[in-house]
Amino acid sequence: MPSLQDTRLIETGFPLKETSLDSVHEKNVRHGHISTLHIWPARRPLAACRAALLTTLLRDPIDSERRTELLRKIGGTLKDDPDQPGKQVTQGGVLHWGNESSPVMDELREAIREVYPFEPPKVMDPFCGGGATMLEAMRLGCDVTAADLNPVAWFILKCTLEYPQRIGKERRKLPEFAHQLPHFLVDYRKAIKTSGAGAQTNIFEEQPVALDWHVRLWGHWVLEQTRADLAAFYPTVNGQTTVAYLWARTVTCKNCRATLPLLKTRWLCKKENKRVLLTMEPHQDRTGVTFGIDENVPKKGKGAKLREHDKKLGAGTISRAGAQCPCCGQIMPSEDLREAGKTGKMGQMMTAVVIEETSKKKGGRKPGKAYRLPTQDDLSVAEKAADHLTELYADIPFGLPDEPTPKSGGGASRAFSVDGFGLDQWHKLFTSRQLLTLGALVKYTRAVPVAMKKEGYADHWIEAIVSYLALGVDRQVDRLSALCRWDMGYTKIANTLTRFALPIVWDFAEGNPFSNSTGSYLSNLEWIARYIAHSLDATKQSSKSSIRNVNAISTTEENTADIVLTDPPYYDAIPYSALMDFFYVWLRRTIYGLSPEIDEAFKEPLAPKWDHNRNEGELIDDAARFEGNKEVSKKAYEDGMARAFEACHRALKDDGRLVIVFAHKKADAWETLVSAIIRAGFVVDASWPIQTEMGNRTRAQASAALSSSIWLVCRKRTELRPGWDNKVLKEMDEKIPERLRRFYNDGIQGPDFLWAAIGPALEAYSAYPFVKKANEPGAVMTVREFLQHARQRVVDFAVGAVVEKSNDGKAVDTAALDEISAYYILHRWSFGHEEVPVGVCIQFATSCGLDDRQLTVGYDLLAPGKARKKATTDEDDDGAEDEPLEADDKNTLRLKTWSQRSRDSLGYEAPGGRPVPLIDQVHRLLKLFRKGEVAKVDDFVREHGLRQHPRFGDYLQAVIELAKNQSEEHSLLSSLQNHMKRQGEQRAGKSTSNQLSIKA
């Protein structure tokens, strides 16, 4: 441990629950938030980054009262949420969105200066990605070094951190041509609270404005130039502006040769008060289909009945089996659809057009969306766009984006499926009209520097503004591809990267960038401008930022950083580089020539993946980069992570701290991380599981995805001698219970809780370069063995916590509990009866000294879940925003309910002649009690000695605690418990009566 004088606040205390609440709340924040600038996978919440930095920069006050006060100053206090009974929110502190500018922040910055009196603390992130960590470091007054190998990330970092700081408080007047942009004038006058028609013709001369308004102005300029070229391609029909054109991909039915539209659903709008359906009938000659629109679809039933009715009513042609032809009923399997795509035989047809309603609704509400069938003009205009592409892209650097899309495969590459359907070049992910529009936006964005020069802008203003406009093009790319879906619930266009994958989308939405509705260019521009306004304030506290496009392994700093805070890539979780090539190919065409530095970063056709000659590159586990060799890929990732942490070790000062953010549910990933930390020379001082994801995410519920990220605090190791396993395990046993108790009380559960124990356990294990086994000369405790010990302690605690809760808070010895019954409590406490990835079940089973086969085959405790869709075979519209599907997500298991365990031997005998688990006996008693066979219940209890069992009463109460209130199970269990109590009291009464008779 560090000396008391150098102990950091994070090593003794942390506002865990407050940080978690504000991090989850931040997911709902939009205006001005960093996430609205540009997509980057798995950005960490600003609240979590701010809390981690503050508590790492500040020393621990040592005195408990002062520590509590400091933590309260950072995290605030908890109070009941008036809008959500049973929920809590924070009050005060500096973590909640909007509190980052409170006066308390000035006090905390002053406290940081007292710790670092001579120069600002230096904070570094070698895997900086979207920039959340370093934005918060700059907000606290630190000098930062933000690095990332990926050129897209590096460019985002320049826009996130460098440009706002470089321009800072500079203001300049808007050029006179702003008067010629009426839409801009309206927005501007609203903002500065001016009005009137003759309208102050000199408003721009009198009021110099900040960077965000100049970005808005030049965005309007780009839009007007583009609109003048392309207005004919987005016609207004009957005075109604088009919001989106809806399309379906098509194939020719192999059976009847009809044109088969590929539709996931035919619902156009499904709201409480508005239900619109696309109807579909075969032509008379059955060569295709005719579409119609039903604008008043009635409801039938409620709840599940309504959902099932709507599912059948709105069914499209696509299912997991393939595509069913509406003309002959034949199903074309997925393999045939892939073949059609690869051979160029997959087409597309317009199915409907979404338009803006022209009149306001009752109550003054804004007009909504209406739907019509496409006209012949709609179809011909879309076809004509292709005629203009060659001329347009001839004047754009590198021409039409013909670089290859990522290939699907195992590991990280499972996120891609488009190439398997013939969409093997980036331009094929767009319609001709989309390519025409994006090309025009690129063309006029590239024309901005010359126009700005004429208006007298300085070079650093030109680079910054054009860079933000390039991000505007990127945002438009995300909303204007043939992988965008029409969201029938929100009635808006869902962006391409709704989740971090590129699956095939059968029926897609083509937006209108000139509309005032969903996915328009101006709305995308506004998100960027609002972030700029926020960042101008956030970055002004820092005097220095260095943005580097380098590999984490190649960091050259030595003994300069006070803190390294980083969120490294997680094994095969996200294929960052291949995924961000979606933006790379457009950025390269938009900003090429803006500066020598930018040209160097974007000189290659695609972003860097892995350099086999130098044995370095992007650190993810992707066997496709190693000719399919999974072992070589895994080793490259593991060695690379170790080398990256070694570079962090060199960069840190001797009293510096490394803070690592990690969130992965696979044991291999944790094993790699722990090995890399120890190999690099670090010891873990503290760890905190911060909840950063909303628990209601579809994927979190369906796949047991982690909702917490573990923040590990490390310092340089001074101990060079080896440790001994008996001493390390004893120290781990002393530390874990107290920390787990806090995590449990703060609401950490499920797989999050399993991995939250790793941090406290690591404090003992990582203190030594390696740990010897006391009873095995020459043997070493491996990381895998250590992690198994740590997980076992979690099992002991979790089972004990549930049993203890059922025993009125009294501590209970769980040592006598059999492994099967312990697993049942742990699994049900974590997941209930939901489907869980096999990998998680295996981890839990191993922690209990079992294997998954014992649980599925031997004891009939687990059953296979429903097969999940593979992202590589079908459209995946999961909707999760933060994480891709993991490899084992398609194989799931679920805990059987007591009524589903149907073996005749249940409760009477166990496999291999082993003792019968308590949970089997509880479930047998439930079955008997439900049938009303009370006498058999009493016989079973007597024959198995359950009244004398030291744990049966506690265990029965624990199962009751886990059962849902008012469920049949809860009712039966409670009745069974009461019956056993009465029987026990009667037996006790008879015994007393017999003793009195004998004495008489």
Residues above pLDDT 70, as percent of the chain: 90
The DSSP code sequence of 445-465 is HHTHHHHHHHTT--HHHHHHH
Mean pLDDT of the chain: 87
**CB-based contact 603:418 (threshold 8 Å):** no
Q: Residues with Cβ < 8 Å from 124, sequence gap 6 or more?
A: 144, 145, 146, 147, 555, 557, 561, 563, 564, 565, 648, 651
In tens, the pLDDT along 885-897 reads: 333 444 788 999 9
**CB-based contact 161:198 (threshold 8 Å):** no
Copy the structure tokens of residue 159: 């826009």
Residue 197's pLDDT band (boundaries 50, 70, 90)?
very low
Residue 362's pLDDT band (boundaries 50, 70, 90)?
low
Nearest alpha carbon to residue 716 among 683, 689, 740, 692? 683
Nearest alpha carbon to residue 842 among 823, 825, 829? 823
Q: What angle do CA 858, 914, 865 make, to 5 degrees?
A: 20
**pLDDT of 333 higher than 60:** yes
How far apart CA 172 and CA 151 sit, in angstroms, is: 30
Copy the structure tokens of residue 362: 């009752």
What is the pLDDT, as a whole number, of residue 377?
A: 93
Most confident option among 468-477, 737-746, 986-995: 468-477
Burial of 998 (0-12, 13-18, 19+ CB in 10 A): exposed
Q: How far separated are the first and last CA of the chain, in Å rounded? A: 71
What is the pLDDT, as a whole number, of residue 201?
A: 46
What is the pLDDT, as a whole number, of residue 2?
A: 55
**pLDDT of 612 higher than 60:** yes
Helix (H) / strand (E) containing 654? strand 652-662
What is the pLDDT, as a whole number, of residue 28?
A: 83
Helix (H) / strand (E) containing 565? strand 561-566
Residue 514's pLDDT band (boundaries 50, 70, 90)?
very high
What is the pLDDT, as a whole number, of residue 997?
A: 41
**CB-based contact 606:581 (threshold 8 Å):** yes
More confident residue, 822 or 885: 822
Distances (CA, A) of 891 to 55, 582, 701, 885, 886: 40, 29, 15, 12, 10
Helix (H) / strand (E) containing 67? helix 64-75
In tens, the pLDDT along 163-188 reads: 999 999 899 999 999 988 988 988 88
**CB-based contact 321:333 (threshold 8 Å):** yes
Task: Classify residue 109 as left (phi > 0), alpha (psi -120 to 50) or beta.
Answer: alpha
More confident residue, 219 or 30: 219
The DSSP code sequence of 679-690 is HHTEEEEEEEEE
Burial of 810 (0-12, 13-18, 19+ CB in 10 A): exposed
356: amino acid identity, one letter: E
More confident residue, 703 or 455: 455
626: amino acid identity, one letter: F
- Give the alpha-carbon dihedral of 569, 572, 578, 580, to 10 degrees: -40
Copy the structure tokens of residue 97: 């969105």
**pLDDT of 323 higher than 50:** yes
Residue that is written with structure tokens 């379906």 in the block: 248
Residue that is written with structure tokens 């369906």 in the block: 702
Nearest alpha carbon to residue 576 among 36, 130, 887? 130
Residue that is written with structure tokens 């370093």 in the block: 134
User: Which contacts (CB < 8 Å, 24+ apart) does range 853-857 have?
Assistant: 854/820, 854/911, 855/820, 855/823, 856/893
3-class DSSP state of 245 = strand
What is the pLDDT, as a whole number, of residue 214?
A: 97
What is the pLDDT, as a whole number, of residue 839?
A: 72
State the average pLDDT over residues 581-585: 98
What is the pLDDT, as a whole number, of residue 699?
A: 39
What is the pLDDT, as a whole number, of residue 881?
A: 30
How far apart CA 780 and CA 992 sit, in angstroms, is: 60
What is the pLDDT, as a whole number, of residue 886?
A: 35
Burial of 953 (0-12, 13-18, 19+ CB in 10 A): middle
Q: How many CA atoms lie within 13 A of 534 on its CB side?
A: 24
Most confident option among 404-408, 665-669, 869-873: 404-408
How far apart CA 629 and CA 720 sit, in angstroms, is: 36
879: amino acid identity, one letter: G
State the average pLDDT over residues 244-256: 97
What is the pLDDT, as a whole number, of residue 204?
A: 57
Burial of 728 (0-12, 13-18, 19+ CB in 10 A): buried
State the average pLDDT over residues 137-162: 97
State the average pLDDT over residues 397-406: 96
More confident residue, 304 or 100: 100
State the average pLDDT over residues 49-54: 97
